[in-house]
Amino acid sequence: MTLPAQNLLAEEASPYLQQHSGNPVHWRAWSPAALAEAKTLQRPILLSIGYAACHWCHVMAHESFENDAVAAVMNRLFVNIKVDREERPDIDQIYMAALSSMGEQGGWPLTMFLNPDGKPFWGGTYFPREARYGRAGFIQVMEAVDKAWREKRDSLDQSADGLTSHVEARLAGVHAKAALDKETLSDLAGRIDSMIDRDLGGLSGAPKFPNAPFMQTLWLSWLRDGVAAHRDAVFISLEKMLAGGIYDHVGGGLSRYSTDAEWLVPHFEKMLYDNAQLIRLCNWAYAATGKDLFRIRIEETIAWLLREMRVDGGAFAASLDADSDGEEGLFYTWSKGEIEAVLGADSTLFFKHFMLSAPHGWEGKPIIHQTDAQQSQSVPDSELLVPLKAKLLAAREQRVRPGRDGKALTDWNGLMIAALAEAGRSLNRRDWIEAAAKAFAHIAEAGHDGRLPHSMLGAKKLFPALSSDYAAMTNAAIALFEAMGDSTYVDRARQFIEQLDRRHRDNDGTGYYLTASDGTDVPIRIRGDVDEAISSATSQIVEALVRLASVTGDVDLQDRAWRVAEHAMGRAGHQSYGQAGIVNACALALEPLKLVLVDSPESPSLVPVANRNPDPRRVDITVAIGTEANRPTLPGGILPPTDKPGAWLCTGQVCLPVVSDPQELEQLLRRQ
């Protein structure tokens, strides 16, 4: 079969694919029909993977995909397939691993050449239209690939077979299980700590990413082993990025990464997942230090989220673009004169607390950031700065806004729902918890036959969900149960795990695949072990199983979580830097914490203590004094008495004596 000789992206649900629907390229979305066309024509596939907020994706689109001459070559030589990596992370991970196996540096846009069976034989990332930056021009690249295809087809097919087998072994392979050992986390935390930039935070060098999985490794090491250097590495990293240009000091929220070592010049795209993880990390840091800097940044980031990222129904959009009006960062940057024009005499106060910098190599207007001293002073002066920021924000809203990728991704929403619920508990913000509950309901109710969609854009839904979707929504459900005490969230969590088992579990019960069993368009069914900017699907699954087992007291589920964790650790042992998420999740499986609280709903004394001492290792279950129905069990099936306030903290199968004094509970949770 062959598809129409035209661009077929106009009806796709992805805003990124829709952005390319006007290209003269005969784009197809990834589908069985597109793959079948390549087989019928015996043409290689040109696969281009990107996402809506990606700056260099836009550059390549403007230079090449919108150019008639380039499109003519693409249409003549290839079947051209466009993929939104956020819609199809399974496809993205396969071909990114293939590029890495070729010894090339990964990134987006990802440009891969495949044989008609979908097996990769060569690729790269961004190619300029004309040769520059030390890179061949895109037409030159395509003609060279076509020449090799015509003259060395057998050799390319052989290379593609070998490369595909290598990627399959790496992403879908089976390794012997590994015993869960406390030293694994300690060892990884020590190695990460050795790479921390002690002056600027984050990992040494540039570019700088928030790297939440690494930050969580360090935090868990601090919580469990009391390694103060690991805690301090998280603090310095957070404080430096929150002072830098990577943080939006006018509107709140974090950009994806900075191009320099000082956190100053970001790629200005804002991703939902980065900000979910920022909220969680700042929440833990605020609880540990009491520093109002972290509380203020949580409040600003959530204000941005609720103002700019909510879609109809209450879920959250995927991202905001880096570019506006054709220029990266234009929406977010300011000249000194622009700020003075908006603030007038108040600009003196603003420049007391903020800097404008245009570093070497940056071609845009200056970027707002803070020195350490300014950041420290801005905290006690924060109320004075609120009206100034509001004026700048109002003026900024008159500019051409960056594009918003309005699709709601289930797994990213799950991360944000959990972060909102946790922060709402810690800071006593019922409105945040309600926003989390509304987003959860919107996603959960969008399912069909008990199955979640992976992505939604208005009425358009992309099925089937990935394993990461069920895991993230399970963890979100448990976070909402902790925040609201509504047992229907536990029921929902069970349903998600049932779907995960039915559609994603492997034959011997040792783990899960990222794609569903009835997915027919993936060349390799991968596990989802590798971290990206967020922890891997496998790590989220282990955490979900452990947390649900803790909530329910289900011993069989606990055993299953242990088995999955052991096999995940067996695979992760081969590349622990790229699979820190699995190490973190296995540390939770090794020593899960469960806190059962009996308290008065009218005037609680113990619950506020638990709320202001968040711990990612812990599941909190609260019941009212006098409760008989749905009373949670302690390990061993023991039912705690509910005739008076009390708190039982359990590690694994061992519980400490009941605590009834709030101050004693505070000391216990902080010591723990």
Chain segment 629-643, per-residue pLDDT in tens: 778 999 988 999 999
Mean pLDDT, the chain, integer: 95
Q: Residue 278, exposed/middle/buried by CB under 10 A (0-12, 13-18, 19+)? A: buried
How far apart (Å, rounded) are the C-alpha atoms in residues 562 and 572?
Answer: 15
Looking at the predicted structure, is the pLDDT value of residue 1 above 90? Answer: no
Model confidence at 68: pLDDT above 70? yes
Residues 254 and 161 placed together within one structural domain of the fold? no
Contact 119, 163 (CB under 8 A): yes
Residue 468 domain flag: no
Is the confidence at residue 552, as pLDDT, over 90?
Answer: yes
pLDDT of 652 above 80: yes
* Domain boundary pick from 172, 203, 233: 172
Is 393 found in the same domain as 280?
yes
Rounded to two decimals, what is the model's pTM?
A: 0.96
In a domain, 538, yes or no: no
Are 279 and 159 part of one and the same domain? no
Last residue of a domain, one of 389, 404, 419: 404
Give the per-residue pLDDT at 101.
Answer: 93
CA distance 411 to 90: 13
Task: Calculate mean pLDDT across residues 455-476.
Answer: 96
Question: Based on the domain organization, do 258 and 390 belong to the same domain?
Answer: yes
CA distances in angstroms from 655 to 100, 305, 594, 659, listed in the order given: 47, 39, 9, 11
**pLDDT of the residue at 244:** 98
Closest CA to 643 of 657, 653, 663, 658: 658
- Number of helices (H), then strands (E), belonging to the chain: the values are 25, 21
- 616 is a domain residue: yes
Residues 156 and 305 in one domain: no
Selected residue with higher pLDDT from 111 and 449: 111
Task: Look up the domain containing 666 and give its range.
Answer: 593-671
Section 429-445 average pLDDT: 98
Same domain for 250 and 160: no
Residue 530 is classified by DSSP as: -
pLDDT band with cut points at 50, 70 and 90 for residue 672: low
Q: Is the pLDDT of residue 334 over 70?
A: yes
For 560-584, letters b (16+ CB in 10 Å) and e give: bbbbbbbbbbbbbeeebebbbbbbb
Residues 6+ apart with CB under 8 A from 253: 247, 270, 275, 300, 301, 304, 305
| Residue 93 lies inside a defined structural domain of this protein | yes
Q: What pLDDT does 134 receive? A: 76
- Mean pLDDT of the region 270-293: 98
The pLDDT tens digits of the residues spanning 282-295 come to: 999 999 999 999 99
Residue at 427: amino acid letter? L
**What is the CATH number for 143?**
3.40.30.10
Q: How many CB atoms are located within 10 Å of the residue 312 CB?
A: 9
Of 286, 271, 281, 255, whose CA–CA distance to 368 is shortest?
Answer: 255
Confidence band (pLDDT; 50, 70, 90) for 558? Answer: very high
Q: Is residue 36 a part of any domain in this protein?
A: yes
Tell me the C-alpha distance between 21 and 28, whole Å.
10
pLDDT at 133: 74
373 part of a folded domain = yes
Claim to verify: residue 20 and residue 167 sit in the same structural domain: yes
564-588 mean pLDDT:
91
Band (pLDDT 50/70/90 cuts) for residue 274 is very high
Distance CA 365, CA 325 (A): 14
Predicted local distance difference test score (pLDDT) of residue 131: 87
Report how far residue 384's alpha carbon sits from residue 193's, in angstroms, rounded to the nearest whole number: 37
Q: How far apart are CA 356 and CA 294, in angstroms?
A: 22
Percent of the chain with pLDDT over 90: 90
Contact of 219 with 213, CB cutoff 8 Å: no
- 626 vs 555: CA distance, rounded Å: 26
Q: Do residues 150 and 284 share a domain?
A: no
The tokens describing 182, both together, are 């406390």
Cα–Cα distance between 564 and 561 in angstroms, integer?
A: 5
DSSP annotation string for 526-590: ------SSS--HHHHHHHHHHHHHHHHT-HHHHHHHHHHHHHHHHHHTT-GGGGHHHHHHHHHHH
Structurally, the chain folds into a number of domains equal to: 3
Question: Do 155 and 22 share a structural domain?
Answer: yes
275 found inside a domain:
yes
Same domain, residue pair 166 and 289: no
pLDDT of residue 171: 87
Q: Are residues 162 and 28 in the same domain?
A: yes
Using the predicted structure, report yes or no on whether residue 553 has a pLDDT greater than 80: yes
- How many Cβ atoms from other residues are within 10 Å of residue 137's Cβ? 17
Is 422 within a domain?
no
Q: Which of these three, 404, 424, 452, is where a domain ends?
A: 404
Query: For residue 95, what are its two tokens?
Result: 């071909």
Report the C-alpha gap between 640 and 246 in whole angstroms.
48
- Region 120-143 average pLDDT: 91
Mean pLDDT of 581-607: 96
- CA pair distance 261, 205, nearest whole angstrom: 5
> Do 259 and 158 share a structural domain?
no
